[in-house]
Amino acid sequence: EAGGGPLLPDSVLYEIFLYLDHVDVLSVGLVCQQWHAVARDEFLWKELFYRYYRVSREVPRHPAAVSWYDEFQRLYDTIPCVEVQALKEHNDQVLHLSFSHSGCLFASCSKDCTVKIWSNELDISLQHSSNMRPYNWSYTQFSQFNSDDSLLLVSGVFVGPHNSSSGEIAVISMENFTLLSRVRNKPYDVFGCWLNETNLISGNLHRIGRITSCSVLWLNNAFQGIESENVNVVKRLFKIQNLNASTIRTVMVADCSRYDSPDLLLDYEEQLAASSTCPVFDLGSDSEEEEAKPKQTPEPAVQELLDDGGVTAEDGLQQFFDDIMEGRMRPAMTETELETKVAELFVRNRTKPPELNLLPTDSNSKTKYLIFTTGCLTYSPHQIGIKRILPHQMTTAGPVLGEERRSDEFFDSLDHVIDIHGHIIGMGLSPDHRYLYVNSRAWPRDCVISDPMQPPPIAEEIDLHVFDLKTMKEVKRALRAHRAYTPNEECFFIFLDVSRDFVASGAEDRHGYIWDRHYNICLAKLQHDNVVNSVAFSPVEQELLLTASDDTTIKVWRSPRTVRVRQARKPRPRKLLFSWLMNQKS
């Protein structure tokens, strides 16, 4: 440090001594004398970097780094891995954390049925707490600030008649913490999200059969009590059929206008090319992912009907039933298989096709993507559905049920589907909305699902996948380190968060984890006494991270560099120094 170099852990110093010894530097004293020169030896720091962090040599240096020395210093000195504060105001499991866009506030949700608003100053302090039990909530589970931080969306589990559980969304004003509106949300793990400053998205679920249903996504105005007498405050966005007990869950919105100015390009070749051109892809056409994803294979007779473009849905259903009654369907189908086949035939000519050639053509486009978890084989969420929201759909003005539909457009189709082949337990967008990060627990390879109510067993190891929303393809290999142990029927959401350079996630192994987005390496494990449910980076300071746990605490983590700066600002204990000097004289 005195020679101008960084503060290094002992293990790194040992690596340096080994390397210097290899190049015939004979003494530690000489190392100290030449430390400043060593600190600027690029070849040395490149070798140390690859060896110490175990990074493949095929991975280039971070595009924003000016030297290997600075890059080494960034990875050990700017990671928020030092615990500086533990917040214990919640008295039950803490489930979710969310920062305001300014970074000045953050909100926490808990099984104690409160949402707490915290002030993010030098020392974090509680600013307000709202108890949702008077509204028949069981607990709060998710929150999100709108784009100008004037409103807070809070999602929770609502206990209705006969103890039936569904969800509800509340909107709270940040000016005086008053409750502005409440919106039903079913199922409750749709969570809900903001589409723009004043409109939010919620869900509803309508059962059609035992394993067939319809998910309806609604656009809601946040100021319903004030405006409902004059204008529409709700409008139907999309209506999507669900097969095999699947439902739409975990909705979020990605802004397409940010794609051409990403914070960090994860494709190394794209980094080198540094190209700003935007390839246009057709979401309505078959892609490699769609061809590769597992599909339900219809019975031969059903497949023949589906391939025959001249047969109407009604004729197909009638022929299908005739084949069953006359014994032409072999082997005999179960009740659930029969329901799925009928639903597939029914929806065949009643779904609005994807709208083609509507991708954003410039960086000012207002098109957004609605992203959510879904499925086609079982109730376990194993696919990511993507649906474009066009500018004219981003307001509650117009008919409540949306634009008038023809009978052959009863359902909406998805623009793109990504199959994960596992149980999805978390999703998060990069700050530039270019990349989607997905926590999942994999199914066994080559598994076959014969009963939608019996999904395959899931792995304990969590995979963190990364998808480029500009190309709709997976980039990099999946990140690993964190683990989960609950089975399918008890599996719960583990929230992750992404900053400019890092991605963090909770886990069931009592730790939070931090990875570097560019190098794909795990940098830190953050300990708790129980499951870590949620993590959140400050949007204006990625060296500040929060973690929330079943141990009822919220922990505040800062980087070693930030801790040193904060300690240097504290006044020195002059009285103790004066007392020590007096004792020395006596």
The model's pLDDT over 291-305, given as tens digits with 9 standing for 90+, comes to: 333 344 443 333 433
Q: Distance (Å, rounded) from C-alpha 419 to C-alpha 429?
A: 18
Question: CB-based burial of residue 577 (10 Å sphere; 0-12 exposed, 13-18 middle, 19+ buried)?
Answer: exposed
The model's pLDDT over 489-509, given as tens digits with 9 standing for 90+, comes to: 777 899 999 999 999 999 999
pLDDT score for 26: 42
pLDDT score for 400: 75
82-261+364-567 has which fold? Methylamine Dehydrogenase; Chain H (2.130.10)
Range 93-98 average pLDDT? 98
Nearest-CA neighbor of 518 among 73, 31, 75, 27? 75
Architecture of domain 10-78: Up-down Bundle (1.20)
The model's pLDDT over 128-151, given as tens digits with 9 standing for 90+, comes to: 999 999 999 999 999 999 999 999
Domain ranges of the chain: 10-78, 82-261+364-567
Q: Is the pLDDT of residue 403 over 80?
A: no
The model's pLDDT over 432-478, given as tens digits with 9 standing for 90+, comes to: 999 999 999 999 999 999 899 999 999 999 999 999 998 889 997 88
pLDDT: is 253 or 229 the higher one?
253
- By the 8 A CB rule, do 353 and 413 touch? yes
pLDDT: is 258 or 87 the higher one?
87
pLDDT score for 291: 36
Question: CB-based burial of residue 83 (10 Å sphere; 0-12 exposed, 13-18 middle, 19+ buried)?
Answer: middle
- By the 8 A CB rule, do 122 and 84 touch? no
Residue recorded with tokens 């359902």? 411
Q: Which two tokens stand for residue 586?
A: 């006596």
Q: Distance (Å, rounded) from C-alpha 18 to C-alpha 25?
A: 10
pLDDT: is 274 or 503 the higher one?
503
Half-sphere exposure of 199 (CA within 13 A, CB side): 18
Residue type, 304: E
pLDDT score for 302: 38
- By the 8 A CB rule, do 254 and 194 touch? no
- By the 8 A CB rule, do 513 and 525 touch? yes
pLDDT score for 279: 31
Share of the chain above pLDDT 90, in %: 52
pLDDT score for 301: 39
Q: Distance (Å, rounded) from C-alpha 466 to C-alpha 478?
A: 7
pLDDT score for 272: 52
- Confidence grade of residue 236 (pLDDT, cut at 50, 70, 90): very high
C-alpha torsion angle, residues 500, 502, 506, 511 (rounded to 10) = -150
Range 550-569 average pLDDT? 93
- By the 8 A CB rule, do 473 and 419 touch? no
- Confidence grade of residue 546 (pLDDT, cut at 50, 70, 90): very high
- Confidence grade of residue 350 (pLDDT, cut at 50, 70, 90): confident
What is the DSSP code string of 357-383? S-S--STT---EEEEEEE-SSSSS--E
Q: Distance (Å, rounded) from C-alpha 76 to C-alpha 561?
A: 9
Range 43-62 average pLDDT? 88
Range 75-102 average pLDDT? 96
Using the 8-state DSSP alphabet, how is residue 511 labeled?
Answer: E
pLDDT score for 241: 92
Using the 8-state DSSP alphabet, how is residue 393 labeled?
Answer: G
Q: Give the chain's length.
A: 586
Q: Taking the alpha carbons of 537, 543, 546, 547 in that order, is the dihedral positive or negative?
A: positive
Instruction: Output the average pLDDT for the chain.
Output: 81
- Confidence grade of residue 360 (pLDDT, cut at 50, 70, 90): very low
Question: CB-based burial of residue 283 (10 Å sphere; 0-12 exposed, 13-18 middle, 19+ buried)?
Answer: buried
- Kindly report the backbone phi and psi dihedral angles of residue 435, in degrees, each rounded to the nearest multiple of 5, phi listed first: -120, 140
Consecutive H or E run containing 197: none
What is the DSSP code string of 286-304? --HHHHHS------HHHHH
- By the 8 A CB rule, do 470 and 257 touch? no
Strands (DSSP E) contained in 54-198 are 82-87, 94-99, 105-110, 114-119, 125-131, 137-145, 151-159, 165-173, 179-185, 193-194
12-26, 308-322, 343-357 — most confident range: 343-357
By 3-state DSSP, what share of the chain in percent is helix, strand and coil, each rounded to 5? 25, 35, 45
DSSP lists the bridge partners of residue 433 as none
Enter the pTM of the model.
0.82
- By the 8 A CB rule, do 180 and 191 touch? no
pLDDT score for 308: 45
